[in-house]
Amino acid sequence: YSSDDVVDLDHVGIIQIPLHCLQTNSSDELTNDGNQNSQEQNTRSVSVNCAICLSPYQIGDSVSWSPNPQCQHVFHTECIMTWLLKRDDADCPCCRQKFVLADIPEASEDTNNY
């Protein structure tokens, strides 16, 4: 990335996306802490390949998923970050649900209007 590509990740809400390390076989369930049998909301089923780059997941890969419970997809962290930074929306590339839940208020020139 060049300095022109630097984006305030907190501003676009991406800073809220959980990062995980793939510690189980790709057909198993991955949990928030890498252990099986965690709470259901912190568990995602990991497919064989990342839907963005189409590369197979490997144990130790950095993966991310949405805090939105309506989106159950998992991606390589680098892939989903690149996807989200290049788009105007913050939608999942697979199901089109909101991947980033933070609503960013539009900047207003006159903030004193009531």
Annotate the chain with three-state secondary structure.
Answer: CCHHHCCCHHHHCHHHCCEEECCCCCCCEEECCCCCCCCHHHEEECCCECCCCCCECCCCCEEEECCCCCCCCEEEHHHHHHHHHCCCCCECCCCCCECCCCCCCCCCCCCCCC
What's the pLDDT tens digit per position in 80-110? 999 988 888 889 999 999 988 765 444 444 4
In this prediction, residue 103 carries a pLDDT of: 53
pLDDT-derived band at 51, boundaries 50, 70, 90: very high
In this prediction, residue 43 carries a pLDDT of: 64
Rounded average pLDDT over 21-41: 47
Distance CA 40, CA 32 (A): 10
Tokens of 39: 């709470």
What's the pLDDT tens digit per position in 7-18? 344 444 444 455
In this prediction the pTM is 0.60
What's the fold here for domain 9-85?
Answer: Herpes Virus-1 (3.30.40)
**Per-domain residue ranges of the chain:** 9-85
Percentage of the chain beyond pLDDT 90 is 19
In this prediction, residue 36 carries a pLDDT of: 41
